[in-house]
Structure 1
Amino acid sequence: MTQTIFTRTLPAIALLLLSTQLSGCFPAVVGGAAAGGAMAADRRTSGIYVEDENIELKTLKRLSQYMDKASHINVTSYNRIVLLSGEVPNESQLKQAETLTREISNVRNIHNGLTVAPASTLGDRSNDTYITTKVKTRFVSERLFPANIVKVVTEGSVVYLMGIVTEKEATDAVEIARTTEGVSKVVKVFEYSK
């Protein structure tokens, strides 16, 4: 019995001690594993998945350098199609955001969902997050298509749906989103597969 406890606890203790030495690497390993799992379930190639992440980061950096500080802009890239959502103080900033995004390499298309309005409040953003969660939860519970193939972005109670989908999957996703409490409008930013 003592031998069994020793053989089970020794590896656990060794792992614990080793993890304290590799604590800086642990988030990278776990994050990499999570990203790998997300890529495996995605219809984009791993290269495009990574490129979308790069497009988002580059675009956000560029916008933060040139846009009015009163702007609140979210950038979402899916298969190199960029969705801009949020609020800007005037029409000129709305156009500038799109122009700056076009300058980012590998962007295929832009869907500009920005509105001219004061920046949303923390309460508004929390409500949008809640709506996104409700839509995603319904995708899972309805089981009409693989829930992870549709990216959901909510801004100002408007739900944007992105992904590479069939016509039926698109119709089902829109119907689920449209009938979710709190959703004021659904915007399709889909690419269609056969």
Structure 2
Amino acid sequence: MTLTSIHRLVLAAAAGAGLAVSLSACVPLVVGGAAVVGAGMVATDRRSSGAQLDDQGIELRAAARVREIANDQMYVSVTSFNRQVLLTGAVGSEADKRRVEDVVRRVDNVRSVVNELTIGAPSTFQQRSNDTLIVGKIKASLLDAKDVFANSFKVVVERGTVYLMGIATRRETDRATDIARGVSGVEKVVRVVEVVSEAELAGQGGGTGAAPASRSNVPLPPMEPLPPVNSPSSGAAPSGGAGVVATPVR
């Protein structure tokens, strides 16, 4: 890893440590982090500027809706990308899981909801700290890669499961998946990605233009859990020196 990448990783880890401390309190809901968008990010983001603003509004409105029904057993994170919402965290029952999804679906401009809420206890402070560190490592690795456009993806991590959200080609998505799975602590990668062709990207500014707002979502299948290193069932060679083994896409 280059010195610049190490510097980025240190900054990401420092920011993550601050975030993890803030999450140690009894916070019932977390917004996905799109509350502030700089001009530089708008220019390099494949979402339209309207979609980026919608994502901010969706996250804030969804947070407010979930707070209205929240109880002591809810810890919900809401992340919106191109008007598609990812729900992660934990709730106390199947009924609560459905209630959260229902209220979020009714938020203006939401196209679809991917409900990855689990039933049980919320993640611990240590788990959230580890997740934040993994996010920083993945982002630094994506920035370090020369064959993938890092801003194509938003990275969300919950208990070692990595969610990649974005607008990208299948090649970019597979490459980003390989990068994420090469990071220590990653147990599974789930792709919540709108797949576009190389021709579509070329027609919209060589990879930095916005994808059509009306495009339907085409999620890729989730990845299998990573088997232990040197496991006879792994069927693949260890990747990238990170102590994990990549398994095929289902």
Same fold (TM over 0.5): yes
The equivalences for 1:102-141 within 5 A come to 102-141=105-144
1:36, 1:156 → 2: CA distance?
32
From 180, 196, 203, the counterpart of 1:193:
196
2:30 corresponds in structure 1 to: none
The answer as to 2:56 corresponding to 1:73 is no
Structure with more relative contact order (C-alpha pairs < 8 Å, separation 6 or more): 2
Contact kept in structure 2, 1:139 and 1:173, CA below 8 Å? yes
TM value normalised by structure 1: 0.81
Q: Which runs of 5+ in 2 are unaligned?
A: 1-34, 198-250
Residue identity opposite 1:128 in structure 2? D
Aligned to 2:186: 183
Note if 1:169 corresponds to 2:202: no
Cα distance in 1, alignment partners of residues 189 and 125 from structure 2: 22
TM-score, normalised on structure 2?
A: 0.63
Contact 1:131 1:183 in 2 (8 A): yes
Other-structure match for 1:45: 48
Q: Where in structure 2 are the equivalents of 1:22-101 lying within 5 Å?
A: 35-101=38-104
Query: 4+ residue runs of structure 1 moved beyond 4 angstroms?
Result: none
What are structure 1's unaligned runs of at least 5 residues? 1-30
- Aligned counterpart in structure 2 of residue 158 of structure 1, from 135, 158, 161: 161
1:122-173 CA distance string (max 9 Å, x none): 2111110001111111111122212111100001110000000001000001
What is the CA-CA distance between 1:35 and the residue it aligns to?
1.7
Paired residue type of 1:62: R
Rounded Cα–Cα distance in structure 2 between residues aligned with 1:193 and 1:104? 26
Structure 2 distance, partners of 1:49, 1:142, is 25
Contact 1:68 1:93 in 2 (8 A): no
Structure-1 separation of matches of 2:181 and 2:175: 10
| Identity level (%) | 40
CA RMSD after TM alignment? 1.3
Bigger radius of gyration: 1
Query: For this pair of structures, how many residues does the alignment match?
Result: 163
Task: State the distance in 2 between where 1:144 and 1:126 align.
Answer: 29
